Amino acid sequence: FDRKDSRLVMAHLLFSFGAVFLGATAGLLQVMQRSGWITLPPWLNYYQLLTAHGVLLALVFTTFFIIGYLFSGVARTLDGKLSPAARVLGWIGFYMMAVGTVMAVIVILTNDASVLYTFYAPMQASPWFYIGAALLIVGSWFSAFGIFAAYINWRRTRKKHSSPLFAYMAVATMILWLHASLAVAVEVVFQLIPWSLGLVARVDVGLSRALFWYFGHALVYFWLLPAYIYWYVNIPQIVGGKIFSNSLPRLTFILFILFSVPVGFHHQLNEPGIESFWKFLQVVLTMMVVIPSLLTAFSLLATFELAGRSRGGKGLFGWIKKMPWKDARFFSAAMAMLIFIPAGAGGIINASYQMNQVVHNTWWVTGHFHLTLASTVLLTFFAISYWLIPVLTRREFTKHLNKLAIVQAILWAIGMFLMGGIMHIVGLQGAPRRSSYATYGDHELALTWISYNQVIAAGGVLLFIAILLVLYIWVNLLYFAPRTEKTIEYPVGVVNEQAEHPPKILERWSVWIGVSIALVLIAYTIPIYQMFMHNPPGSLTYRSW
Provide the binding-site residues for ligand HAS, judged by CB under 6 A.
118, 220, 223-224, 266-267, 286, 289-290, 293-294, 296-297, 300-301, 304, 320, 334, 337-338, 340-341, 344, 347-348, 350-351, 356, 359-360, 365, 368-369, 372-373, 377
35 vs 366, which CB is nearer to ligand HAS?
A: 366
Does residue 279 contact residue 267 with C-beta atoms inside 8 Å? no
Q: How far apart are CA 1 and CA 57, in angstroms?
A: 28
83 vs 350, which CB is nearer to ligand HAS?
A: 350
329 a catalytic residue: no
196 vs 286, which CB is nearer to ligand HAS?
A: 286
Does residue 433 contact residue 359 with C-beta atoms inside 8 Å? no
With H, G, I as helix, E, B as strand and everything else as coil, classify residue 316: coil
114 vs 286, which CB is nearer to ligand HAS?
A: 286
Determine the number of helices (DSSP H) and then strands (DSSP E) in the chain. 20, 0
| Catalytic residue, candidates 368, 397, 424, 464 | 368
Instruction: Report the nearest approach of ligand HAS to the CB of residue 364 (Å).
Output: 8
368 a catalytic residue: yes
395 a catalytic residue: no
* Cis omega (within 30 of 0) for bond into 122: yes
Residues in the chain: 545
Q: How far apart are CA 167 and CA 71, in angstroms?
A: 9
| Catalytic residue, candidates 34, 53, 179, 217 | 217
| Residue at shortest CB range from ligand HAS | 344
Q: What are phi and psi of 235, to 5 degrees?
A: -60, -40
Instruction: Report the nearest approach of ligand HAS to the CB of residue 527 (Å).
Output: 17
Instruction: Report the nearest approach of ligand HAS to the CB of residue 356 (Å).
Output: 5
369 a catalytic residue: yes
Among residues 473, 295, 381, which one has the least CA distance to residue 65?
381
| Catalytic residue, candidates 221, 232, 244, 490 | 221
**111 contact partners, CB below 8 Å, separation of at least 6:** 43, 45, 48
231 vs 452, which CB is nearer to ligand HAS?
A: 231
Instruction: Report the nearest approach of ligand HAS to the CB of residue 281 (Å).
Output: 13
| Catalytic residue, candidates 309, 434, 534, 543 | 434
433 a catalytic residue: yes
Any alpha helices (H) in 110-247, and if so which ranges?
Answer: 127-156, 165-186, 193-196, 205-229, 235-238
Instruction: Report the nearest approach of ligand HAS to the CB of residue 344 (Å).
Output: 2
| Catalytic residue, candidates 53, 179, 209, 370 | 370
Among residues 332, 458, 479, 473, which one has the least CA distance to residue 392?
479
34 vs 267, which CB is nearer to ligand HAS?
A: 267
| Catalytic residue, candidates 214, 330, 369, 464 | 369
Q: Tell me the residue type at 460.
A: G
Half-sphere exposure of 307 (CA within 13 A, CB side): 25
Residues annotated as part of the active site: 217, 221, 368-370, 433-434
